[in-house]
Amino acid sequence: MAQFPITRMRRLRQSGAVRRMVQETKLSADQFVYPLFVTHGKNVREEIEPMPGCYQVSLDRLHDEIAEVVGLGIPGVLLFGIPSLKDAKGTGAYAEEGVVQEAVRAIKKRWPELAVITDACLCEYTDHGHCGIVRNGNVDNDATLELLARTAVTQAQAGADIVAPSAMMDGQVAAIRKALDAAGLTETPIMAYAAKYASAFYGPFRAAAQSAPQFGDRRGYQMDPANWRMALREVELDVEEGADLVMVKPALSYLDIIAKVRECVPLPLVAYNVSGEYSMVKAAAKNGWLDEQRAILEVLTSIKRAGADLILTYHAKEAARWLQAER
């Protein structure tokens, strides 16, 4: 290789125009999905304390949120539901008139072009806060599969474009694919939470969704943060079971996992920039410790650079605005 001064790497960094021309990783609003928390009630738009700028929104206030998302060119939303009542079996998750099912109908009626993704899990709907049926103090994997499948079917029947099972139950993708196909919903894709880690970065989300476990934790079914080979196996199994997209969650502490999955899986790869990652940046920016816009775009760029095709992020709206302004 040529040596200094023939090789001067700074030559391609001297102007903004040149930097844009040679930029290897480019962010776009097309790559974002915005998570939303929908709840029962009237005229509810309650800010989530640890997630400034994010809200619990009732169905009658959903219009403004979705109109903003569509106006910014963000192609999809991910819906989480907060039911009026919770029970041991998470009945609200698979009720035909459940809050997410109703939200899907409302959105698709007004914005049929928007991709609506639904979280297919029970944790937001159970009174114990776990992701499945609890028996003798443990989550019963196989008993949970039937309810996850019912949840996905009712969401797809309501009009969901993609169902996203997040419970980390063994066999959940296969059970949902079988149920969707039996219901005539053969064209509904599954976005598998394939490598979902038992992370400390979910705390703000659990406040937002009111889904913190009432006993124990979720390390019995979510992945150990120390493991990477197991993540590849989890992804491989979900692909074999019929997943159409696979996800790594969280994103920032698992950029290496995103990169490893990208190397070996040809499916669209999704990364979830989770609530705790969002809240850290917001808290630091509020205290003047970093430049909020630069930090957020740097975070999202790192996730994209690692290999993600889609990024689920609570920063989607503000990032889309900034990217529009840069054009």
- pLDDT for 282: 97
Q: What are the two backbone dihedrals, phi and then psi, of residue 93, each rounded to the nearest 5 degrees?
A: -70, -35
Q: Model confidence over 196-212: pLDDT tens digits?
A: 999 999 989 877 766 66
- pLDDT for 251: 98
- pLDDT for 45: 96
Q: What are the two backbone dihedrals, phi and then psi, of residue 136, each rounded to the nearest 5 degrees?
A: 55, 40
**Residue 294 structure tokens:** 């630069």
Catalytic residue among 86, 89, 196, 282: 196
- pLDDT for 205: 81
Nearest to 93 by CA among 175, 32, 142, 151: 151
C-beta of residue 269 within 8 angstroms of C-beta of residue 232: no
Q: Model confidence over 266-303: pLDDT tens digits?
A: 999 999 999 999 999 999 999 999 999 999 999 999 99
Amino acid at 241: E
d(C-alpha 192, C-alpha 189), whole Å: 9
- pLDDT for 207: 79
Identify each DSSP E strand in 232-309 by its residue range.
Answer: 245-249, 269-273
Amino acid at 105: R
Point out which residues pair with 33 in neighbouring strands.
76, 312
Low-confidence residues of the chain: pLDDT under 50: none
Amino acid at 53: G
Q: At what angle do helices 275-286 and 292-306 cross, to 10 degrees?
A: 150
d(C-alpha 131, C-alpha 141), whole Å: 10
Identify each DSSP E strand in the chain by its residue range.
Answer: 32-39, 45-47, 55-58, 76-82, 115-120, 134-135, 138-139, 162-165, 191-196, 245-249, 269-273, 310-313
- pLDDT for 213: 66
d(C-alpha 62, C-alpha 57), whole Å: 6
Token pair 């920016």 is found at: 285
Domain ranges of the chain: 23-326
Q: What are the two backbone dihedrals, phi and then psi, of residue 312, each rounded to the nearest 5 degrees?
A: -80, 115
DSSP string, 184-208: T-TT--BEEEEEEB--GGGHHHHHH
Token pair 């949840």 is found at: 151
d(C-alpha 134, C-alpha 141), whole Å: 9
- pLDDT for 221: 81
C-beta of residue 39 within 8 angstroms of C-beta of residue 82: yes
Q: What are the two backbone dihedrals, phi and then psi, of residue 321, each rounded to the nearest 5 degrees?
A: -60, -45
d(C-alpha 177, C-alpha 153), whole Å: 9
- Is it true that the peptide bond before 250 is cis, omega within 30 degrees of 0? yes
Task: Specify whether 249 is catalytic.
Answer: yes
Contacts of 29 (CB under 8 A, 6+ apart): 72, 73, 74, 75, 316, 319, 320, 323, 324
Catalytic residue among 26, 89, 108, 249: 249
* pTM for this model (two decimals): 0.95
- pLDDT for 218: 74
CB atoms within 10 A of CB 302: 17
CATH of 23-326, one of 3.10.20.310, 1.10.287.1400, 3.20.20.70, 3.40.50.150: 3.20.20.70
